[in-house]
Amino acid sequence: MKRKTLSWSTLLWLALVALSVQGCLGIGSKATTGKQVATGSNGQQVSVNQDVFKGKFYLTISGNLYVLSGNNTSQELVKTGNVSDPAVSPDGKWVAFIQSYKQYSDLAVVSTAGGSVRVLRSGNGKFYLNDGGFLHDTYYWYEQPLWSPDGTKILFLSDLEKEDWYTQTNEDAPMLDLQLFSVPFASPMDTPTDIAYAAYGDGGDRDPSYRPGHPDQIIYTHYTYDSVTETQQEIQLFMENPTTISAHPDTYYPGPPGGGFDPGIAITDTSSEIMEPAFSPDGSAIAYIKRGNTSMSLNVMPVPPATITQTPNDAATEKMAVQAFQTQSSLLLDQLYVEQPVWSPDGKQIAYYTYTNDTFDLWIVNVVYTAKTGKYSTQGSPIQVTSGGVDGASRPVWTN
């Protein structure tokens, strides 16, 4: 029996078919693990490794709100392409978030089960010329919502009072730097309550959060310039009692760098730029990001004594407030970009965004506390949760 030999053309066609199949199946392309959950605005495929974490992550991908679940029920909650900074209510029923537009942003909520979006406050407005003929506006930004521990109030960053502080800032320009406000969830259009003030000229405050178990303590990142030359950027973590300003009307006010008078007290010094604090679930430690000259690092420090918020603007208190940072900080990891840390509900892991294959992705790392040294350290290698890219500037939430 003669052996039948394939002709060259047949072989060529087979090769072409093989290549086509390979391309369709993605064989040989950059490996992605886990379940594909999203397609980014630039067409990238975002996958999540759902087997490596417990609970749920609420985060945004290309401006869309997703809940990534460790039990294989990930879903897209809001698909408007302009969403950022989700915050889950203490009862787990609502997700507050921001929807950004060209001139303003809205504070909105959606059920954690999905559904229609409800706008709590809209920053929409208009431009107008003031008496001097200068252009002003009634647009506002709302950023980074935060639920009060009892779920009755929503805090947010905003420039709501930008036209109110000319005298205090000594500037012939509105104070655009975002400050922290609060409104009742049940009546969000009520006049906001001032929670924390900003300094003029460096963008204002960021990253507010409550200390678990301590509704009288909040923490946030405070951006300002040095008070002497007004040229050196100082980024510090501030703590304060969120009721102090409202309890002492006409006492506190914002101002230029080194000016103003507010109840915030720095718990980190100015030797480095510190940002994005995240309380551990038991409220005993703070994870934070330190910006270095060529990289960023994830660190953990113990919480300073609770009494510091009772005596703000006191030299001795200010000195005591930074001691924990200066003496008990633990370096967990150092990379080109590390940001948005968040603790797992059980406090045994920290999730964060880092730069992987030219995209920002979610990773988690096990952390352990050594009582003997009072320091935190990592255990094992970090684990990648997403691949393909999430929104680096929008902080995630990790819930049960």
| Binding of residue 212 to other proteins (CB under 8 A) | no
CB count in 10 Å sphere of residue 359: 17
Rounded to whole angstroms, the Cα distance separating 250 from 243 reads 14
Which of 57, 97, 104, 181 contacts other proteins by CB under 8 A?
Answer: 104
**Count of residues near other proteins by CB under 8 A:** 64
Place of tokens 């087979």: 14
Residues 30-69 that bind other proteins (CB under 8 A): 42
Which of 120, 389, 396, 397 contacts other proteins by CB under 8 A?
Answer: 389
Nearer to other proteins, 227 or 377 (CB): 227
Least distance from other proteins to the Cβ atom of residue 101, Å:
10
Rounded to whole angstroms, the Cα distance separating 58 from 259 reads 38
| String of contacts with other proteins for each residue 233-272, x by CB under 8 A | x-x---------------------x--------------x
Least distance from other proteins to the Cβ atom of residue 60, Å:
11
Which of 82, 297, 359, 377 contacts other proteins by CB under 8 A?
Answer: 359
| Alpha-helical runs (H) found in the chain | 8-25, 166-169, 244-247, 315-321, 323-328
193, 197, 202, 207: CA torsion to nearest 10: -70
Q: 242 by DSSP, 3-state: which?
A: coil
Rounded to whole angstroms, the Cα distance separating 141 from 100 reads 8
Which of 340, 384, 386, 387 contacts other proteins by CB under 8 A?
Answer: 340
Rounded to whole angstroms, the Cα distance separating 49 from 221 reads 31
Least distance from other proteins to the Cβ atom of residue 233, Å:
6
Maximum CA pair distance of the chain?
A: 104
| Binding of residue 392 to other proteins (CB under 8 A) | yes
Least distance from other proteins to the Cβ atom of residue 230, Å:
5
Nearest residue to 102 via CA among 78, 79, 127:
127
Rounded to whole angstroms, the Cα distance separating 223 from 240 reads 15
Q: In this structure, what DSSP letter does residue 338 have?
A: E
Rounded to whole angstroms, the Cα distance separating 332 from 76 reads 32
Least distance from other proteins to the Cβ atom of residue 62, Å:
10
Pairing of strands 397-399, 330-335: unpaired
| Binding of residue 279 to other proteins (CB under 8 A) | no
| String of contacts with other proteins for each residue 303-332, x by CB under 8 A | ------------------------------
Least distance from other proteins to the Cβ atom of residue 11, Å:
8
| Binding of residue 176 to other proteins (CB under 8 A) | yes
Contact (Cβ atoms closer than 8 angstroms) between residue 103 and residue 117 = no
Least distance from other proteins to the Cβ atom of residue 118, Å:
22
Rounded to whole angstroms, the Cα distance separating 73 from 79 reads 17
Contact (Cβ atoms closer than 8 angstroms) between residue 310 and residue 269 = no
Which of 1, 9, 72, 372 contacts other proteins by CB under 8 A?
Answer: 9
| Binding of residue 97 to other proteins (CB under 8 A) | no
Residues 114-153 that bind other proteins (CB under 8 A): 127, 135-137, 139, 141, 143
Place of tokens 């001032």: 194
Q: Which residues contact 132 (CB under 8 A, 6 or more apart)?
A: none
| Binding of residue 71 to other proteins (CB under 8 A) | no
Nearer to other proteins, 308 or 338 (CB): 338
Which of 339, 367, 369, 384 contacts other proteins by CB under 8 A?
Answer: 339
| Binding of residue 186 to other proteins (CB under 8 A) | no
| Binding of residue 16 to other proteins (CB under 8 A) | no
Rounded to whole angstroms, the Cα distance separating 214 from 303 reads 12
Rounded to whole angstroms, the Cα distance separating 375 from 387 reads 31
**Which residues of this chain interact with other proteins, rule CB under 8 A?**
2, 5-9, 12, 42, 84, 100, 102-105, 127, 135-137, 139, 141, 143, 159, 162, 173-174, 176-178, 200-204, 206, 223, 225, 230-233, 235, 257, 272-273, 275-276, 289, 291, 293-294, 296, 337, 339-340, 353, 355, 358-360, 389, 391-394
